[in-house]
Homo-oligomer: A and B are copies of this chain.
């Protein structure tokens, strides 16, 4: 864009020495949708290419979460229709349980609304922002409403919604809500968002994103139609749904004074002891008594009577009480076997391995790290390794530099596994590394969920998983190197021994049979000596 012109004013800009009174007149509330409209880069809408991909991603995340929660094998249809220059309509359709009529407007037309924020359970969405933000971006750039069709009951018709967001109030405005039905439609949700965007294939494009999604979600079937009308299908590698992740309660070790006070205010338990037993994970009667009495309080005291001071004593007492670690059935990792199967299905390589670590904990939140490695085959040998990062089975496409997963890979010494690596860079060679974190609450570095924040506990787990997989890889790489060496030696032997034979034949006047015997003996001796 052009440089601003020299200062020549048409209108006198606002300018007056402010006072506390004049400043008070300007103070006002900022709606969360206004905030994100202005800060759209926080949500992944800072460039037209990213905006298009982010929209698809948010819709796919929601579709998969809904299917899995309802224990339905996901069938997704994704389509991108070109509707003008740098303008596309994004369509994402699922066979999930559908959304009840009353909820549709708020789910798609209100930021910070949803079911996943308040519970401790692994899911792709967690903020209640994504899909409504995508709709808001579409509306901002094309003035078109979001179109949602949803059906919850095979015996009743579905609903067709068109809605926009009132960004000043952060509230949905329904423009249309009518009955709709299609032949053979049982249940599910379809969302259409039209937006200003740029379509891109390639490494950071939609195709790559879908392929990586399919890699980490082998139970998902995706049909995809690109803007040229070409259709691709990502087949299922398994018919088994992942083990459902269960909701857990907060663990006492991750609780701070403020949260404790809030929980004590909200609880239905009438005594402190019952409060700790009922509202927290892993607290039995003995631990509950120990926590309460360790703080110099009575087990029969009402939680409502907690103050800042007594809450602090309870927190200190929790730290002194031995409580088992949080349960880990809230997590649903991909699993080593499935990771290898998935890579074998999609990646042409010579060697595959995967490591799923035991769950660990950061700030009271359980998490689990997995790593998959593919090596050799048709992976490009002269380039840096390819890194696929995932959080709760969702591929992360941007901000690799700021991500704890990348840091784990860069801080691993790949030279000791027989690979080349420049300081602070990815290793080079025919290598694909998949890194996955599953958690009840993934700490992303921004609302756009592009990179994982660098908690020490998380980086440590990434590194341990990478080292474990790396050692397997190292054994393979060394074996391969040895085999190459041997092949080279064998080639030399095969090349020179016949000449030695012929020379000896000539010098000593040997018969052909004698010559052949000498060659065989020499070959045999050399082969044997090489093996010692």
A positions within 8 Å CB-CB of B: 1-5, 7-11, 13-15, 17-21, 23-24, 26-32, 34-35, 37-39, 41-42, 46, 66, 69-71, 97-100, 102-103, 106-107, 110, 112-115, 117-119, 127-128, 136, 139-144, 152, 167-168, 187, 196, 244, 246-249, 253, 256-259, 261-262, 282-284, 307-309, 311-312, 324-330, 358-362, 366, 399, 401-402, 441, 443-447, 453, 455, 457
Contacts and interface: CB of A to CB of B under 8 A. Distances in A.
Contacts of A35: 112, 117, 127
B119 A26 contact: yes
Contacts of A457: 1
Given A20-B187, A23-B69, A26-B118, 5 more contacts: A15-B246, A23-B99, A28-B118, A30-B117, A39-B444
A69 B18 contact: yes
Nearest to A259: B140
A399 B399 CA distance: 12
B29 A32 contact: no
B7 A329 contact: yes
Contacts of A455: 46
Contact of A308 (B71, B112, B128, B144): B144
Contacts of A139: 258
Nearest to A251: B4
Contacts of A114: 27-28, 30
Nearest to A12: B246
3 smallest CB-CB distances across A and B, nearest first, come from A143-B308, A140-B258, A4-B325
B21 A152 contact: yes
B143 A258 contact: yes
Nearest to A21: B100
A311 B110 CA distance: 24
Nearest to A20: B152
Contacts of A3: 325, 358-361
Contacts of A401: 401-402
Contact of A118 (B30, B71, B118): B30
B32 A97 contact: no
Contacts of A118: 26, 28, 30
Nearest to A422: B423
Contacts of A247: 13-15
A27 B103 contact: yes
A31 B311 contact: no
A97 to B, nearest CB: 4
A141 B13 contact: no
A508 B13 CA distance: 88
A15 B119 CA distance: 13
A98 to B, nearest CB: 5
A425 B402 CA distance: 16
Nearest to A425: B424
Contacts of A7: 327-329
Nearest to A116: B26
In this complex, the member of A102, A141, A261, A446 whose beta carbon has the largest number of chain B beta carbons within 10 angstroms is: A446
13 contacts: A1-B360, A3-B360, A5-B324, A14-B246, A27-B103, A30-B117, A34-B117, A37-B259, A140-B259, A141-B257, A142-B308, A143-B311, A446-B446
A359 B6 CA distance: 10
Nearest to A366: B4
Contacts of A283: 10
B17 A70 contact: yes
Contact of A13 (B5, B69, B144, B246): B246
A436 B274 CA distance: 56
A30 B128 contact: yes
